[in-house]
């Protein structure tokens, strides 16, 4: 990266304040930036950080008029950052161009000639791999799968049989999709396994973090909707249905046959019980335990999950319990003293 600041301002559709001729060679965090760096200040309330930064220039929101260094004022610093990184830094592809000699592709599989397949990849029978798909080293893909156009799968990911990935999907390393759901019933000899014969369907432009697991359906399909983003270390049970553009943070667990409707957000380490529905546009706080269905647009937190404002009042009351206990004990002592005087 080597660009004039004025050119960068044009690319991010911002207003330049200061010297536009200075040369930018890298993007760096505000606290680590040095000469030749450009940084981004997301929150205008932290504008004091501009006084101590070593950055040559900073992208800021339109709320900020001036700074000790040249600035580019934009409507959204987040969008500008995405534009900047996308323009100057290529994403790390899972595989190099072409099909590696060590890859094992079943004769009945259909792999587009413009797909890239890394070393020691295994692709099973009757599986299709679309145009510009990129599959990293050690990925194992079973039978009757679909990998859509432009989909990236990073190293050591496993797709069991009957897994369908849409176009533009990104799956990070160590993820397992299509493993058996946790389905058993208690027989006379203990837990007896229920065969898991369904599949998994992942919509277009879904991103799935590292070491996440998505179980196949007992029958039918486990489904993840278009544009949904799933963080690392998430467990999604069998027959779960996730709507479009849902955001799921790290270490979330969603039990079988639960439905999460479009546009919802689930905070880290939250747990969702089985056979419930999370209404569209809901917000679930981190570490919340959702045991019952919640209506569209709800914001809940705590365990068991309650409306967020109620959960905050309960949390505040819990912090006062030691003092309240002392007050009760003091009142009991006074009552006993008064009764003894009768």
Annotated catalytic residues are 238
Paired sense of beta strands 306-307 and 299-301, if any: antiparallel
- Is residue 198 exposed (0-12), middle (13-18) or buried (19+ Cβ within 10 Å)? buried
Maximum distance among all Cα pairs of the chain, rounded to whole angstroms: 98
Contact 196, 215 (CB under 8 A): yes
C-alpha 248/C-alpha 226 separation (Å) is 13
Contacts of 329 (CB under 8 A, 6+ apart): none
Coil, helix or strand at residue 321: helix
Return all residues near 289 (Cβ < 8 A) that are at least 6 apart: 270, 271, 273, 302, 303, 304, 305
Q: How far lies 99's CA from each of 44, 245, 328, in Å?
A: 48, 33, 75
User: Which pair of tokens denotes residue 264?
Assistant: 């919802």
């Amino acid at each position: 990266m080597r660009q004039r600041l004025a050119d960068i301002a044009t690319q991010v559709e911002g207003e330049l304040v200061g010297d536009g001729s200075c040369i930018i060679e890298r993007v760096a965090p505000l606290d680590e930036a040095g000469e030749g760096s450009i940084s981004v200040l997301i929150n205008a309330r932290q504008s004091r950080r501009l006084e101590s930064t070593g950055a040559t220039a900073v992208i800021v929101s339109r709320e900020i008029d001036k700074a000790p260094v040249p600035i580019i004022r934009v409507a959204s610093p987040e969008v500008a950052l995405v534009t900047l990184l996308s323009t100057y830094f290529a994403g790390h592809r899972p595989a190099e161009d072409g099909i590696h000699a060590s890859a094992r592709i079943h004769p009945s599989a259909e792999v587009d000639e413009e797909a890239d397949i890394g070393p020691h990849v295994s692709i099973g029978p009757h599986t299709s791999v679309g145009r510009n798909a990129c599959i990293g080293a050690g990925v194992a893909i079973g039978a009757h799968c679909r990998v859509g156009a432009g989909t990236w799968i990073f190293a050591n990911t496993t797709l069991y049989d009957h897994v369908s990935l849409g176009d533009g999907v990104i799956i990070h390393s160590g993820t397992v999709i299509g493993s058996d759901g946790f389905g058993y019933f208690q027989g006379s000899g203990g837990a007896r396994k229920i065969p898991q014969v369904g599949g998994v369907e992942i919509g277009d432009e879904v991103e799935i973090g590292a070491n996440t697991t998505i179980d196949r359906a007992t029958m039918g399909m486990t489904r993840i909707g278009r544009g949904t983003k799933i963080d690392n270390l998430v467990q999604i049970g069998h027959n779960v249905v996730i709507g479009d553009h849902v955001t799921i943070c790290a270490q979330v667990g969603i039990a079988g046959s639960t439905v999460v409707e479009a546009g919802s957000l689930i905070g880290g380490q939250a747990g969702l019980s089985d056979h419930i529905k999370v209404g569209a546009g809901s917000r679930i706080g981190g570490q919340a335990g959702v045991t019952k269905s919640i209506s569209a647009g709800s914001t809940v937190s705590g365990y068991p999950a309650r409306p967020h404002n109620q959960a905050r009042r309960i949390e505040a009351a819990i912090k006062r319990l030691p003092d309240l206990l002392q007050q009760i004990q003091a009142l009991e002592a006074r009552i006993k003293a008064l009764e003894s005087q009768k």
